C-alpha cells in the first residue's frame, strides 16, 4: 500500500499539531497538509506508538465514530482509559434535522437468535448522526483539546450536497483545535435519504467533487470513511486519495435486516411495529472488513506505492488484539473500534493493547511498522494458486523419484539424495 515503508519526509519534531494544521504542498513533492510519513518508534519491548499523517498516538487503537464519541463525558473517559485517538460522533450544521428513534439496536447471537443465550456476533443499528446542537459539540471539542492538548481528537463530519455548507462546517470544526477530520461518506441508513453519507460514497463522480471542496478548504489531515455497500470499494478509495485525502478508513457498517420476530412477524429493531434496514457490525463482519481493507491496501500499494504520507484505518468487528493485528498485517496504520466499546466498555483498550503486545512478542516485532502490511504479498489470484500448487506437486514428485541426472548430486545433501532413490 502507500505507506508500507516508513520515511520521514519533512518537518521537525516540534509541535506536530501545529505543523499539520499548516498546508505545506511544494510542487516538487506535493507533501500536502502533513509533513511526516507513517512512522513508529521502536524498542526491544513491543512499542505500540504510531505516528500517522503527522498525528502522534500512544497506540493504534482509535474510538470509531458513533455513540462512544457522542459527548465530552464519554470522550474524556476514552482518553483517560488510554485510547490512541478519539473520533467524535458525526456532526452536521443543522442537528434539528436529525431525529432518532428507540429502540434503534438489534443483536444477533450465535445459535438460536432471539434467546438470551449465545455469544453476540452481530449488531445492527438504525441510529443517525449526532442529534446534539453543533455549537454544543464544538464547545466540547475545544474543551477536550484544552484538557488533553497532546491527545488526538478527530472530528467526523457530514453535510448535504452544498459546497458552502461543507466549507462552513470544516471551518467551524477546525477552529476548535481538532487534529484531523474524518468525512462520513458511508452511513448506510437514514442519511442517504437526504443525499448524505453512503449516497456520496457510492457515487464516485459526486465523491470526487465533494472531496475537492473539502480538501481545498481543510488545513488538517482528512480521512475518507468508505462504505462497504458497493461492488468495488477500491474505486471510491482511489477517488478520495486522488482528490487530496490523506487517508481512508474502512469499513462502515453493512446494510442489513437483522431478522424477523417469528411470533409477532415484525422486523427488528421494531419501532411501533415497523423497522428500516440498518447498519450491521460486530464480530460477524470482521472477515468482510478484512477483505475490503485488503483490496484497498493492495490498490494503494500498487498505485500510490511511494506516497508514504497516505494512511489506512481498519474498522470492523475488533474485540481482541488478534483482530487488530490482522488489520495491521493487511496494511492498516490504525484500528478503529465502536461496537466493541458499546459491548465491552472503554477499558477494552487495555485488553487490546496487552494482546497485541503478546502477538508482537511471539514474532519478535518491536514496532507496529515491523509487521504492517506483511501479509499482503500472500494474496494472489485463483489462477496463480493453481499454478503454485501444480508446481509444488511437480517438485514433490521429483523428490520422490530421486535425482534425474548425475549433475544433480550435491555434496551437502549426498546422504539424503542417496536415500531418495532407495526402494525399501
| Distance separating alpha carbons of residues 133 and 115, to the nearest angstrom | 38
| Distance separating alpha carbons of residues 87 and 137, to the nearest angstrom | 12
| Distance separating alpha carbons of residues 42 and 47, to the nearest angstrom | 6
Q: Are 353 and 35 in contact (CB under 8 A)?
A: no
User: Strand (E) positions, 110-235?
Assistant: 120-125, 152-157, 180-184, 222-225
The DSSP result for 266-287, as a single string, is -EES-BTTB---EEEESGGGHH
- Kindly name the residue from 187, 211, 245, 338 that is annotated as catalytic: 187
Q: Are 93 and 168 in contact (CB under 8 A)?
A: yes
Q: Are 57 and 152 in contact (CB under 8 A)?
A: yes
Cell 484505518 sits on residue: 313
Strand partners, 247: 223, 311
Residues 6+ apart with CB under 8 A from 288: 228, 251, 254, 316
* Cα dihedral 22/248/325/368 (nearest 10): -20
Cell representation of residue 24: 505545506
Does the annotation mark 187 as catalytic?
Answer: yes
Question: Where in the sequence numbering do the catalytic residues fall?
Answer: 187
Amino acid at each position: 500500500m502507500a505507506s508500507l515503508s516508513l520515511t520521514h519526509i519533512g518537518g521537525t519534531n516540534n509541535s506536530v499539531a501545529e505543523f499539520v494544521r499548516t498546508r505545506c504542498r511544494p510542487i516538487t513533492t506535493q507533501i500536502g497538509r502533513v509533513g511526516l510519513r507513517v512512522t513508529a518508534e521502536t524498542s526491544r519491548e513491543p512499542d505500540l506508538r504510531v505516528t500517522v499523517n503527522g498525528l502522534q498516538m500512544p497506540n493504534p487503537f482509535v474510538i470509531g465514530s458513533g455513540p462512544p464519541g457522542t459527548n465530552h463525558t464519554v470522550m474524556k473517559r476514552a482518553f483517560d482509559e488510554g485510547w490512541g485517538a478519539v473520533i467524535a460522533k458525526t456532526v452536521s450544521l443543522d442537528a434539528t434535522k436529525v431525529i432518532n428513534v428507540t429502540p434503534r439496536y438489534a443483536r444477533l447471537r450465535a445459535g438460536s437468535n432471539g434467546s438470551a443465550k449465545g455469544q453476540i456476533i452481530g449488531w445492527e443499528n438504525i441510529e443517525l448522526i449526532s442529534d446534539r446542537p453543533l455549537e454544543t459539540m464544538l464547545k466540547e471539542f475545544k474543551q477536550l483539546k484544552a484538557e488533553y492538548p497532546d491527545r488526538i481528537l478527530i472530528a467526523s463530519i457530514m453535510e448535504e450536497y452544498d459546497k458552502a455548507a461543507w466549507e462552513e462546517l470544516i471551518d467551524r470544526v477546525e477552529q476548535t483545535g481538532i487534529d484531523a477530520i474524518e468525512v462520513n461518506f458511508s452511513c448506510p441508513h437514514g442519511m442517504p435519504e437526504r443525499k448524505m453519507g453512503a449516497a456520496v460514497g457510492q457515487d464516485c463522480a459526486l465523491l470526487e467533487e465533494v472531496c475537492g471542496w473539502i480538501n481545498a478548504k481543510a488545513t488538517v489531515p482528512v480521512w475518507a470513511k468508505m462504505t462497504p455497500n458497493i461492488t468495488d470499494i477500491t474505486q471510491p478509495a482511489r477517488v478520495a486519495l486522488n482528490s487530496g485525502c490523506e487517508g481512508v478508513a474502512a469499513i462502515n457498517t453493512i446494510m442489513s435486516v437483522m431478522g424477523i420476530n417469528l411470533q409477532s412477524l415484525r422486523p427488528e429493531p421494531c419501532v411501533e411495529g415497523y423497522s428500516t434496514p440498518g447498519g450491521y457490525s460486530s464480530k460477524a463482519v470482521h472477515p468482510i472488513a478484512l477483505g475490503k481493507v485488503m483490496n484497498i491496501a493492495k490498490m494503494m500499494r500498487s498505485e500510490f506505492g511511494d506516497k508514504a504520507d497516505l494512511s489506512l484505518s481498519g474498522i470492523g468487528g475488533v474485540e481482541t488484539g488478534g483482530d487488530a493485528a490482522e488489520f495491521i498485517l493487511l496494511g492498516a496504520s490504525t484500528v478503529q473500534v465502536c461496537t466493541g466499546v458499546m459491548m465491552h466498555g472503554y477499558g477494552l483498550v487495555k485488553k487490546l493493547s496487552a494482546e497485541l503486545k503478546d502477538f508482537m512478542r511471539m514474532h519478535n516485532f518491536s514496532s507496529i511498522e515491523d509487521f504492517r502490511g506483511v501479509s499482503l504479498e500472500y494474496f494472489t489470484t485463483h489462477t496463480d494458486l493453481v499454478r503454485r500448487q501444480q508446481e509444488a506437486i511437480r517438485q514433490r514428485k521429483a523428490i520422490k523419484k530421486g535425482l534425474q541426472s548425475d549433475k544433480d548430486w550435491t555434496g551437502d545433501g549426498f546422504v539424503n539424495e542417496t536415500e531418495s532413490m532407495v526402494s525399501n
